[in-house]
Amino acid sequence: MFQLAMIISLILLSVSILVGLYRVMKGPSMPDRVIALDAIGINLIAMVAVISVTFRTSAYLEVILLMGIIAFIGTVAFSKYIERGIIIESKRDN
């Protein structure tokens, strides 16, 4: 029964990742794609958590924290690029 619930959760997460992938491919503007990629990253975090519960191993728990950090950094870099055209500003020399 417990394994069945885990399998259902994994299927729901896979379907939501596929729907996000459709939005990444079709999205009319660039911010649409970045928002869909951010949602895919968050769904992947949940998927790693469900898989570690399914296998009863605590070896994958670092991956959750790391993927959260990396998804946030990627989204911030993309949004700065879309807003200003550069990611790391050079110092003003006066």
Partner 1 sequence: MSPDVVIETIVAILLLIGTTLALLSAIGILRLPDVYTRSHAGTKSATLGVLCTLLGTFIFFAGMENFVSVRLILGILFVFLTAPVAGHLMCRAAYRSGVPMSNRSVQDELKDVILSDKEEQR
> Residue 8 Cβ, how far from partner 1 at the closest point, in Å?
7
Number of residues that bind partner 1 (CB under 8 A): 50
Q: Following CA atoms 73, 75, 78, 80 in sequence, which dihedral angle do they give, to the nearest 10 degrees?
A: -80
CA–CA dist 70, 10 (Å, integer):
22
- 8-27 footprint of partner 1 as x/- string (CB under 8 A): xxx-xx-xxx-xx-xx----
CA 1-67-10 angle, to 5 degrees, is 20
Q: Does 31 bind partner 1 (CB under 8 A)?
A: yes
Asked if residue 12 lies in contact with residue 31, where contact means CB atoms within 8 angstroms, the answer is: no
Q: Does 70 bind partner 1 (CB under 8 A)?
A: no
CA–CA dist 86, 93 (Å, integer):
18
State the residues that interact with partner 1 by CB under 8 A: 1-2, 5-6, 8-10, 12-13, 15-17, 19-20, 22-23, 29-32, 34-36, 38-39, 42-43, 45-46, 49-50, 52-53, 56, 58, 61-62, 64-65, 68-69, 71-72, 75-76, 78-80, 82-83
